[in-house]
Structure 1
């Protein structure tokens, strides 16, 4: 049985696209997933499953929700390998926004070059197979950053964003499952 992380995009934001994590945990368990846990209310779940976890999640979401939910399923090994590639500056405590932008299925790879060419002196980004590690200003200069300008673009709809704390906590929870 393998461990997986499930990242949902755009749920429980402003009271819209409501997904109760306790209900989703129960739905996944009823479909065969085991040791299902969630972290905060923004669509972060970890579970074990013996089979095609991507299909399991797609089937559960389609059966229980009347709106589509973009999501990404990664194995424990894949998630931890991606997080291990986080640059030192992304892990440093400072006054900037530290985000991990997880590429959803269907992500257009040409966005990678667009991102790198759009970076300002205020941004830092490193791109891996499944994640874009990005730092941008927190307050004063945020709206001048490339990160701020990408919100609402087609690119934005193809990623699911987690802050550094959530990203690292999910790695910790996965590591605790040994």
Structure 2
């Protein structure tokens, strides 16, 4: 039987955009974990250096967002975009994925929506793309994108159009292996 504090505490993942890339926007994960622990969050963990932060909290989501916005403003002002998902929401989006996501494609990525972006506009723009050797699924938390063959990658909309879109600098992208690992971290 679970203890009362375990029942009321929810697991979350916070995905940071654009950190530790090419020596820019450096965030030391051990320092971030300590700052988040000091903010009162429990079971704080990170996975790889690209900004995948896990924690538990009983606080309302709006309060969590406000705390992280303040943390970033004070300590990491270059962090303008991030995603915050509960375990429940992440699992629900993952269960709704189409069959192709579970197949062995050349590349699979998730363009996770961030808190401040215009999600509807991003979906509208991607819907207008002419897909070539690729497939797209619009989830609640992001856009799931598969590329069938590596040889055609440079001709895909993912490569030719996506990076030119204004919303591209607002999504935080994880490959399918990292997305799967995030799910496992949330479940344990």
Aligned to 2:5: none
Higher helix share: 2
| Bigger radius of gyration among the two | 2
2:14 equivalent to 1:6: yes
**Are 1:4 and 1:73, in contact at CA under 8 Å, matched by a contact in 2?**
yes
Aligned to 1:170: 182
Superimposed CA distance per residue, residues 77-112 of structure 1 (whole angstroms, 9 cap, x where no aligned partner): 111111112222112123x11001101123221221
TM-score (norm 1): 0.91
Aligned to 1:151: 163
**Are 2:18 and 2:25, in contact at CA under 8 Å, matched by a contact in 1?**
yes
Unaligned runs of 5+ in 2: 1-8
**Are 1:11 and 1:69, in contact at CA under 8 Å, matched by a contact in 2?**
no
2:130 equivalent to 1:122: no
| Matched residues, number | 175
- Of 92, 115, 124 in structure 2, the residue corresponding to residue 113 of structure 1 is 124
Aligned to 2:172: 160
CA RMSD of aligned residues (A): 1.5
Aligned to 1:68: 79
Tell which deviates more after alignment, 78-87 or 31-40.
78-87
Superimposed CA distance per residue, residues 117-140 of structure 1 (whole angstroms, 9 cap, x where no aligned partner): 203231100102221110125532
Aligned to 2:88: 77
Cα–Cα, structure 1 residues 161 and 105, in superposed 2: closer, same or farther, change >3 Å?
same
Q: What secondary structure is seen at the aligned counterpart in 1 of 2:128?
A: helix
Unaligned runs of 5+ in 1: none
**Are 2:81 and 2:171, in contact at CA under 8 Å, matched by a contact in 1?**
no
TM-score (norm 2): 0.87
Alignment of 1:85-100 (within 5 A): 85-94=96-105, 96-100=106-110
